[in-house]
Amino acid sequence: MPLTQTADTATLARLCGLPVLVVARGGLGTINHTLLTVQAVAADGLDLAGVVLSARAGDDSAFVESNATQIRARSAVKVWIWPELPAL
């Protein structure tokens, strides 16, 4: 996503020097979208901390968990479901 004429979010992540945390919705369409984002992070040479799937009220929790399982299996990245984040 462009931030300026010469900088995008990868530029911002590189300047921060921190691993990228991808936050995605837990519902329909998230597997493909998230995997493409994970690939883009890697292609930009950035470190990926993991993926957080954000489940909305009313989302089928089994469906969200299935999406998380599929993303883990296809990318070998850490995936958490909000609010199941580990205590810091």
CA atoms of 62 and 53, how far apart (whole Å):
13
Q: What is the pLDDT of residue 28?
A: 85
Query: pLDDT for 59-68, tens place per residue?
Result: 888 999 999 9
Query: pLDDT for 2-31, tens place per residue?
Result: 788 888 888 888 999 999 999 999 988 899
pTM for this prediction: 0.84
DSSP 22-81: EEEESSTTHHHHHHHHHHHHHHTT--EEEEEEEPPTT--HHHHHHHHHHHHHHH---EEE
Residue 38 structure tokens? 């994970």
Signed CA dihedral, 80, 81, 84, 88: sign only: positive
